[in-house]
Every structure is written in structure tokens, then in C-alpha cells.
Structure 1
């Protein structure tokens, strides 16, 4: 009798587990995804959601051509997150996103070309991508661009714009503020005083 009740209990227990509702993960809004990308938490979020949204992400990147989803899918492919790793295809989607003007995609590609990550190092190409991102107010791109100019890359014609963008950026972090101050002082040594005065005028 004990054995009989054991099997009945086990059956009821398994049946209860099987009937528990599966919670669907809601798709990210554009604004939510862009914030995740800015914080570099987008891949972690996909993993935390147990890869449930891969097909939706792929569709929004490939069919709908949404730049934030192109960036996300490109990163997933480049680093093998929830999909089979394909660096070449990942870079393709990153570039698609950058061509549509997504600041984070422009900054990331500029950084990759600067340091030679996933692509061959190419300082000239890094400047092209970083300049576009910097013009949109991306502070990481602004600082990296100024540092590239300080290291002798790029054109002196772009110094004034680069100085202006970084000089007028709002920074709360004291350490970053000091880093920016030092980078601007170094760039100023390469510029005429008239250009520095123009760059410092209110935007």
C-alpha cells in the first residue's frame, strides 16, 4: 500500500510541475535596448533571459533592420552568445547598425579598429568611425578620438571639432574629468590659440 501511494504521489507531483506556466520574456523596447547597450549590459541580458528571444532579435536585425537590434545581434554573433559564433557576420551587422548612425556601433567599431580587436588595426578607419560617434556626443568616442590625435593620427583639420566636443562634454566622474583635462591640454599644444578660443565658445 505504501508503494502504491508513493507512485500516486510521484505522478501528481510530476503532473503539477508539467502544468506550471512558462513565463514569456518580453521583447526589449528600442529605448530599453539602447540603454542596455550604453551600459554594456546587452549580452548579459540576453543570457539572463535564457536565450529565449534569439529568433525575435534576428528578425528585428535582419528583416526590420532596426539599428539597435543589428548591434545586439552583431555582438551575439561576434562573441557566440546564444548563437553559433560567426565573427564575419557579426561585424556585418555592427557595420549595418553604424551605417544607420547608432552611436554605440560607431564607437565600438572605432575602438576595434584602434586596438585591432576582431579586425586588423587601422588608425585611419578608427578616426572615421570615432569622429561620427563623437559628433553625436558619445564621450568614449570623443576621448579616444582626442587620444588618437595626440598620438599623431588623423588630420589637424579635425582638432578643433574634437577639442570642442570633448571640452563641452558633461562628466560627473572626477577621475574621468582629470583624464579629459589632461587629453585636452595635450591636444591644445598642437592647436593655434584662435582655434582653442573658438572651440571653447558656448555651443
Structure 2
């Protein structure tokens, strides 16, 4: 009976059905994200959902690219995973360090998130001066979320009127299909425009 059972197992794994099952499993292996794909996921705030949707299969690869290769996009991703405990044990301190490293390498999405966290007091003590610094850096690199947040800070009395023209120019020439973002931009432009002299306002509206 034991020989028959062993023979049945051998025949099963050599059968076309078994081979098809193995092939199907191999086809389901998740490929690591390209830089462009990962950045798009980050911009859409879908990066953590994607890691979870991929059943946490890529954690080791993500960690290697963050810690060994020090790629800023992967530092941002792995840092966010650690900060929220997504597919890894929660480690806010290490997560923050990785996100800060990505920001210091000039990743606009990381700069915006660090600025936003300083603005909100999330994971760190609230610091609007630091928030403004990081948001301005991200905004100067074209990050629309940072530009809008910076405008809202200026309208709340944080920062210098010297920045009104620059931030107004960014938003005046911005493009977005997001209706909520469009409304925030319009509100920010109206607020900043009301604080600027006519000549400065006209200059900020000039074509780039």
C-alpha cells in the first residue's frame, strides 16, 4: 500500500495537471515595481495598498533597495511601510529616518510628506517653520500637493509675504483633473491675490 501511495504521488507530480498547477503558481509571482510605476503609485497614494494587494511578497526586495541600494523612491516606500506597520513590524523611528533620507535626496513626494507631517504634528512635534521649508522645496520641484499646502499656510499667516508671488505663479499655471484639488487651488489663488499689489499679481499671471 505504501508503494502504491508513493507511486501515486510521483505520477501526480509528473502529470500534465500538476505541471499546469506549477506553471500557474509561477505566473502569479509578483514582479518588483519599476521606478516610474512606484513613483506613480506614491503620487496617487496607492503604494501601501499595492504592497498589501501583492500579499507582502516583495518586502525583502523593497528593503534591499531601500537599505543597500538607497534608492529614494524605495526608501520612501519602505519608510512608510515601517511607519504604518504595513507588511513589517511597526517601527516609526526607522521609518521616519528612511523617509527623511528620501527627502534629503530630493524626492518631491518625500519632501511633501515630511512637510505635511511637520504641519500636522504626525510622528513628530508640530513645526510650521520646518513644514514650510519642506513644502517649499517640494513645491519648487512641481509637487502640486505641496504648493497648495504652502499657499494655505501662507494664508494662515505662516511664512513671509515675499513668497506670495512665487506660490501664486505655481498655482496659477497648475493643471489638475481632481475637482477637490481644483477648488482648493481656486480658493488659494483668491486669497493670495487679495494680498498682492496689482502689478505683482499681473506679473505672477504672466506666461511661463
Query: Normalising by the residue count of structure 1, what TM-score does the alignment of the two structures yield?
Result: 0.88
Q: Which consecutive unaligned segments of at least 5 residues does structure 2 have?
A: none
Please report how far the alpha carbon of residue 145 of structure 1 lies from its aligned counterpart in structure 2 after TM superposition.
Answer: 0.5
The equivalent position to 2:93 in structure 1, one of 83, 88, 91, is 88
Query: 1:144 pairs with 124, 140, 149, which one?
Result: 149
The corresponding residue for 2:162 is: 157
How many residues are treated as equivalent by the alignment? 196
Could you say which residue in structure 2 is the equivalent of 1:109? 114
SS at structure 1 position matched to 2:123 = coil
Q: Distance in 1 between matches of 2:177 and 2:54?
A: 32
* Distance in 2, Cα, partners of 1:95 & 1:35: 20
Distance 1:189 1:154 in 2: 16
What does 1:45-64 correspond to in 2, within 5 Å?
A: 45-64=50-69
Distance change in 2, residues 1:75/1:190 (3 Å): same
RMSD: 2.2
Distance (whole Å) between structure 2 residues aligned to residue 18 and residue 102 of structure 1: 46
Shift of 1:158: 1.3
**SS of structure 2 residue aligned to 1:119:** coil
Alpha-carbon shift at residue 161 of structure 1 (Å)? 0.8
Please give the per-residue CA displacement for 1:28-63, whole angstroms capped at 9, x wherever unaligned.
110111011111111111111111111111111111
What is the aligned partner in structure 1 of residue 134 from structure 2? 129
Q: Is 2:185 aligned against 1:180?
A: yes
**How far, CA to CA, are the matches of 1:37 and 1:111 in structure 2?**
15
Residues 69-88 of structure 1 show CA distances to partners (whole Å, capped at 9, x for unaligned) of 00000001100111111101
Structure 1 position 167 matched with structure 2 position 163: no
Instruction: Specify whether residues 163 and 62 from structure 1 end up closer, same or farther in structure 2 by C-alpha distance, changes over 3 A only.
Output: same
Q: Which residue of 2 aligns with 1:200?
A: 205
| Partner residue in 2 for 1:40 | 45
